[in-house]
C-alpha cells in the first residue's frame, strides 16, 4: 500500500531548490504488547519536534535494508530485539525542505524489556487512544491504518 501525504504549515508554490530535493529514508515499527497496545516514543529534548510522539524507528544507514534498520533502531532506542517483521506501509511525507520516505513494519515477534535508551519516554497505548497523544503529522497514515485494523 502506498499513501502520500503532504504536510505544510502554509500553502505556498512549489519551489525546486537544493533543500527541497532532500530525501530521507526512515523505518518505523509497530510493536504490540499482550494487551493489544502499541508502543510509542516521545521525541527527547534537543531533537527536532521534541515532546511530540512517534512510533519507534529511525533513519536507514547507507546500504542498510529497511528490516535491518528497524532491528537496529528498536535495539538502540528501546532495548528490544525484533524477531520478525512484515512491511505494512511505505509512503512519503513531504515537508518544505525535505521528503521523508516512511517504511512501516508490523513487528510480529520481539523480546526484551522496552525502555527509553536515549532518555525518551515510552508508552503503551491502545490504538483507539492514539488521538490523545500529540502524534507527528507524518505518522497520521499509520494511526488511520491502526484504526481500521
Q: Which residues contact 27 (CB under 8 A, 6 or more apart)?
A: 57, 58, 60, 66, 69, 70, 73, 102, 103, 104, 105
* The pLDDT of residue 20: 53
Distance CA 56, CA 115 (A): 11
Whether this prediction's pTM lies above 0.85 is answered by no
* Contact predicate 64/27, CB 8 Å: no
Q: What is the helix (H) or strand (E) element at residue 111, kind and residue range?
A: strand 98-111
β pairing state of 98-111 and 81-94: antiparallel
* The pLDDT of residue 96: 85
Query: What burial class does residue 131 get, using C-beta atoms within 10 Å of its C-beta: 0-12 exposed, 13-18 middle, 19+ buried?
Result: exposed
* The pLDDT of residue 3: 43
β pairing state of 81-94 and 2-6: parallel
* The pLDDT of residue 47: 85
Cell of residue 43, nine digits? 521525541
* Contact predicate 29/107, CB 8 Å: yes
Binned average pLDDT, 10 residues per bin, the chain of 149 residues:
39 40 95 97 89 96 96 97 95 91 96 93 97 95 94
Given the candidates 3.90.79.10, 3.30.1490.190, 3.40.50.800, 3.30.70.380, the CATH classification of the domain at 2-148 is 3.90.79.10
Amino acid at each position: 500500500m502506498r499513501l502520500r501525504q503532504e504536510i505544510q504549515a502554509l500553502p505556498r508554490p512549489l519551489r525546486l531548490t537544493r533543500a527541497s530535493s532532500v530525501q530521507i529514508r526512515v523505518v518505523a515499527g509497530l510493536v504490540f504488547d499482550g494487551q493489544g497496545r502499541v508502543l510509542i516514543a516521545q521525541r527527547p529534548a534537543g531533537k527536532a519536534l521534541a515532546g511530540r510522539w512517534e512510533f519507534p524507528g529511525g533513519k536507514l544507514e547507507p546500504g542498510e535494508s529497511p528490516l535491518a534498520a528497524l532491528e537496529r533502531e528498536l535495539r538502540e532506542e528501546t532495548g528490544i530485539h525484533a524477531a520478525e517483521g512484515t512491511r505494512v506501509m511505505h509512503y512519503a511525507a513531504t515537508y518544505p525542505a525535505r521528503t521523508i520516505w516512511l517504511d512501516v513494519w508490523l513487528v510480529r515477534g520481539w523480546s526484551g524489556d522496552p525502555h527509553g535508551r536515549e532518555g525518551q519516554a515510552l508508552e503503551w497505548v491502545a490504538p483507539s487512544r492514539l488521538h490523545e497523544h500529540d502524534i507527528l503529522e507524518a505518522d497520521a497514515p499509520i494511526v488511520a491504518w491502526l484504526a481500521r485494523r
